[in-house]
Structure 1
Amino acid sequence: MGKKVLIIQGHPDSQSFNHALHQAYKSGALKAGAEVKEIFVGDLDFNLNLQFGYRKRTELEPCLLESQEKIRWADHIVCIHPVWWGAVPAVLKGFFDRVLLPGFAFKKREGSLWWDKFLSGKTAHIISTMDQPSWYYRLFYGAPTDKALKKLTFEFCGIKPVKITHIGPVRMSADAFRAKWLQKVEKMGSGL
């Protein structure tokens, strides 16, 4: 049996290049014999806000309960998203706020600053698109989404190692640039 791969699509526009990258990765993973499940965050119907923080429980919508089951099932999680204003799209941030809850993804230890990581044993790959060269994003901005998603989200919950691939600049890119990246991303999926 192949690896169990979950692809989380964080771009709300189904016509975006991010969705083409999603299909390329999925194609490669299926060729490698992986089982693939998907979450299209933009298609989910849920309240983006963790309304009461952690003070009071906000009941999860059925689509978020199903998403938790997919995360629990997966060996490897691939998150594909654009970088907007130095962050992930609001719908993706809201998704993680609502799904990666105490008791599911982690648990703070009583009387301690430390926590238990409930998603250990899983790996991840973040594929992000941007409208600037990736070296500029890293050098001048410090790659804030990498820190937020890799360190403060996935690794916080025990998911590691987490690989990161930046693709940019996408805006005004030629068809050849996009075709090359679709091939690379399909190869990443087939390399599982």
Structure 2
Amino acid sequence: MTARRFLGWPAVRQIASGDWLGRGPAVTSARTESLKPRTTTADRVVQSICPYCAVGCGQRVYVKDEKVVQIEGDPDSPISRGRLCPKGSASEQLVNAPGRQTEVLYRAPRATDWQRLDLDTAVDMIADRFIAARRHDWQQTDEQGHLLRRTMKVASLGGATLDNEENYLIKKLFTAAGAVQVENQARI
């Protein structure tokens, strides 16, 4: 074994440099020194909220060339104080996953293939079906003449990724539409 290669060992470099704990230049390779954090290459930083649960942890989203390059906890957030759970820490993978759906897909009844729809068409289809289901099964009164003003054909299941304000507005919308079954994933 050559002396040069032997001196390149991290343990030998630790002893020779006095870096007894192995946390300094003794264990730093040329490749490690050349690495730069993705956050330093970002064009801008955008504040956001983690999409996974109803806690609402703050995130800093680092963007370069209109593409998300890194997501980290926001130390200015009073809720999470810069910390993220494992799912929140993996948010960048959610955004940049190669299999992520970015278009609305629709499969007609008894069809075997999916077709792409623009967002406006999909929202119109949902609204039309919502109104038709509500109109088809509207119950104004019961058999005794008691006022009901409800439909049992429309229901809502909210997600835990929504915050309190969003869940409140969804509850108001569906109640105003006459829906009785309004539930949230967090209670199930």
State the TM-score bracket (shorter-chain normalisation): under 0.3
User: Which structure: greater strand fraction?
Assistant: 2
| TM-score w.r.t. length of structure 2 | 0.25
Higher RCO (C-alpha under 8 Å, 6+ residues apart): 1
